[in-house]
Amino acid sequence: MIIPANLLKEVSKLKEQLNYHNYRYYVLDDPSIPDAEYDRLFLCLKELEKEYPQLVELDSPTQRVGAAPLSAFSQVTHKVPMLSLDNAFSDNDMRDFNRRLQDRLKSTEDIEYACEPKLDGIAISLLYIDGQLVQGATRGDGTTGENITQNVRTIPSIPLKLLGQDFPPALEVRGEIYMPKAGFGALNNRARAAGDKIFVNPRNAAAGSLRQLDSAITANRPLEMCAYSVGLVEGGDLPTQHTAALEQLHEWGFLINSEMRAVGNIEACIEYYQNLGVKRDDLAYDIDGIVFKVNDFNLQKTLGFVSRAPRWAIAYKFPAQEEMTQLLDVEFQVGRTGAVTPVARLDPVFVGGVTVSNATLHNRDEIDRLGVKVGDTVVVRRAGDVIPQVVSVVRSRRPETARDIVFPDTCPVCGSHVETVPGEVVARCTAGLVCAAQRKEAIKHFASRKAMDIDGLGDKLVELLVDEGLIDSMADLYHLQAQQVEKLERMGPRSAENLIAALHKSKQTTLDRFLYSLGIREVGEATARSLARYFGNLEKLITADEETLQQVDDVGPVVAHFISDFFIQPHNIEAVQALQDAGIQWQDIEVNEADEPLSGQTFVITGSFKVLKRSGAKAMLENLGAKVAGSVSVKTSMVVVGGGATNNSKYIKAQELGVATTDEPGLIELLTAHGAL
């Protein structure tokens, strides 16, 4: 069907008008037409698109919702990592931060900072190509996030097409998606009226809304997005200051925080923090602190990064919110390593946006330090706004019936002996793999990628298998039948067959992976590898005494005790034998010094590589006998520095200590010379 030229022009004008009015309404909070007029324009466009479907394009205001529900979210790799921030908790922390920057810049001049409220929401990345939104992704682990494009398209304050014409051809905008307090209240009121479950706080509501596979659900949630930075920028330039760049984003259609300011020095930052702290409860949204960034992009580039955080930014967190309540009882929980942790059962109290009924007491020493008793009135804090903990006792309110908290001598789950190793504060159940409380966590660890690497056996499936009585031990995994598994929730014939195949594949492993999978205390990947190389087979390791064990690299008296104590327990030996009887096998190791020319050398790898994968480089170095460590010390033989890492802490530490460094080509040359490549 041929579309008249005047109709094309009309549709283009309608889209332009609607996008502009969306910007006035949701970003500027300054609508220029009545809602009824907006609705008329919207309906007109919708009718034209219905009559001429070929007119429908992704940037049309009518296309915010409409895609079919997803079966799962795909993964997105961030081309520019989404870094986390270091935290400050006091004015002195802020002054120390400023002093570190001045020292690095070799200047005593004041630094100008951008100040922004730290919204309590979900970090998001939006990619625009030629001004059109093509991808929305969560932060994830900073490197890889989830593709939630369909959902972000439903949020009115996110432009589907940028305003203006001078934007870069490729532009990644980063910000926070959150739920304003008013919208959160209205959402919960609707849920109560419908008899549905209500959300605990706005952040949880925002997170749950963004992870809906059906974007129509997300569209009905009152979400907003506030831009706070840019990531990838290709083919264009931005202003040289952070605040100016955000103002530019605002002109292109993004909501930015109206409380954002640029200030001239660190004392002004502290004053800004104090002033906004007073206004915090009156803001239309939740914040948990203030983010301060060096305003000048050139200075940011000079200052660089440390590990996974920029040197030029810091989050000054507000004090954790506290409330008083009564400690009703104390129960003891047992974790994967057997740690027996006291948990306070509280008279429920609303703290920091959530209702808290349980809080950690950490260990026996913490109980003694607090002097807390059952029946006391206690002060509860959400440490880091996440984990509730008891921080003090209101002694003036102690009742006569208050009683001491008695730590158990036997495991509250399996009845085995509880011991506290000299020099430690944590009490532990000695039953190991036999203790039911440790079973689920032990199996999860056993199946993990760096252990037996059983594809498809995630945490929830492990819990389901145990709860349904299908497995009681790690060895039971290898006796599962597909017919049993396919009957479980969210499983089916194909998933069940894939799991059984993955279990069968995992039977062929290596001694070091097997040792790591057993979850012996303090035996990580590196120690497991050292043990495997030193003893060569499992039998020699099992019969080794503590003195012999201490001859192994990375094994001191404490770790030697943990290993010896593990293998001296009959039930642990039975569990190991059951795994071997189930078919798990490996090749014994015969160490030939000629095959390990880098034996005794320690390498540290940092930065990004173009040819090699870091995991692959690590494996090749270890196969040549080297140890690959995570930090630089005087014992380090060489630091391998990938691209963009010459400003990071490991490279700088190597320079300070006089440790040799090389780059990726140098590492490739070394590996090639020893036959690893």
Residue 67, pLDDT > 60, answer: no
Residue 65, pLDDT > 90, answer: no
Q: What is the amino acid identity at position 405?
A: I
Q: Which of 114, 238, 118, 223 is nearest to 171 (CA)?
A: 238
Tens of pLDDT along 324-341? 899 999 999 888 778 899
Q: Which of 614, 610, 676, 677 is nearest to 640 (CA)?
A: 614
More confident residue, 23 or 413: 413
* Burial of 556 (C-beta count, 10 Å sphere; 0-12/13-18/19+): exposed
Q: How confident is the model over 64-88, as a mean pLDDT?
A: 78
CATH number for the segment(s) 5-63: 1.10.287.610
Q: How confident is the model over 521-546, as a mean pLDDT?
A: 89
- Residue in the block written with tokens 């192994």: 552
Instruction: Give start-end residues of each CATH 2.40.50.140 domain in the chain.
Output: 320-429
Q: What is the pTM of this model?
A: 0.50
* CB-based contact 431:334 (threshold 8 Å): no
Confidence class of residue 125 from pLDDT cuts 50, 70 and 90?
very high
- Residue in the block written with tokens 């070799």: 106
Catalytic residue chosen out of the listed positions 13, 50, 118, 540: 118
What pLDDT was estimated at residue 18? 81
Residue 459 sits at the vertex; the CA angle it makes with 346 and 616, to the nearest 5 degrees, is 125
Tens of pLDDT along 559-604? 999 899 889 888 889 999 999 999 999 998 876 555 678 877 889 8
Query: In terms of CATH architecture, what is 593-673?
Result: 3-Layer(aba) Sandwich (3.40)
Q: For domain 320-429, give the CATH superfamily.
A: Nucleic acid-binding proteins (2.40.50.140)
Neighbours of 543 (CB within 10 A): 10
Average pLDDT, the chain: 86
Q: How confident is the model over 278-299, as a mean pLDDT?
A: 90
Task: For residue 326, report the phi and psi dihedrals to the nearest 5 degrees.
Answer: -100, 135
Tens of pLDDT along 142-171? 888 889 999 999 999 999 999 988 899 999
Structure tokens at 106: 């070799």
Strand partners, 660: 638
Cα-only R_g, the chain: 29
Greatest distance between any 2 Cα atoms in the chain? 90
Query: For residue 333, how far is the Cα from the chain centroid?
Result: 25
What pLDDT was estimated at residue 41? 80
**What are the respective helix, strand and coil percentages of the chain, to the nearest 5?**
40, 20, 40
Query: Within 13 Å of residue 102, how many CA atoms lie on the same side as its CB?
Result: 15
**Residues ≥6 apart with Cβ < 8 Å to 45:** 11, 14, 15, 18, 60, 61, 62
Query: In terms of CATH architecture, what is 86-317?
Result: 2-Layer Sandwich (3.30)
What pLDDT was estimated at residue 313? 94
Instruction: Give start-end residues of each CATH 3.40.50.10190 domain in the chain.
Output: 593-673
Confidence class of residue 1 from pLDDT cuts 50, 70 and 90?
low
**Residues ≥6 apart with Cβ < 8 Å to 83:** 142, 305, 308, 309, 310
Q: How confident is the model over 523-551, as a mean pLDDT?
A: 90
Task: For residue 395, report the phi and psi dihedrals to the nearest 5 degrees.
Answer: -65, -30
Q: For domain 511-581, give the CATH superfamily.
A: 5' to 3' exonuclease, C-terminal subdomain (1.10.150.20)
The two beta strands, 660-662 and 638-641, are parallel
Query: Phi-psi bin for 468: left (phi > 0), alpha (psi -120 to 50), beta?
Result: alpha
What gap in Å lies between CA 18 and CA 33, rounded to an integer?
A: 11
What gap in Å lies between CA 390 and CA 359, rounded to an integer?
A: 6
The torsion of the CA quartet 347, 348, 350, 352, rounded to 10 degrees, works out to 90
First to last CA, the chain: 61
Q: How confident is the model over 38-45, as a mean pLDDT?
A: 76
Tens of pLDDT along 453-500? 999 999 889 989 988 989 988 999 999 999 999 988 888 899 999 999
Alpha-carbon distance values, 452 to 312, 474, 501, 518 (Å): 41, 11, 13, 10
Instruction: Give start-end residues of each CATH 1.10.150.20 domain in the chain.
Output: 432-506, 511-581
CATH number for the segment(s) 432-506: 1.10.150.20
What pLDDT was estimated at residue 36? 65
What pLDDT was estimated at residue 29? 57
* CB-based contact 554:522 (threshold 8 Å): no
* CB-based contact 375:402 (threshold 8 Å): yes
E strand intervals along 81-187? 86-88, 113-119, 122-129, 132-138, 144-146, 170-178
E strand intervals along 220-318? 224-234, 261-263, 287-294, 305-306, 309-310, 313-317
More confident residue, 116 or 487: 116
Residue 384, pLDDT > 60, answer: no
Instruction: Give start-end residues of each CATH 1.10.287.610 domain in the chain.
Output: 5-63
Residue 244, pLDDT > 80, answer: yes
Residue 301 appears among annotated catalytic residues:
no
Tens of pLDDT along 602-654? 898 888 787 888 777 888 888 788 888 877 888 889 999 887 666 667 887 88
Instruction: Give start-end residues of each CATH 3.30.470.30 domain in the chain.
Output: 86-317
* Burial of 281 (C-beta count, 10 Å sphere; 0-12/13-18/19+): exposed
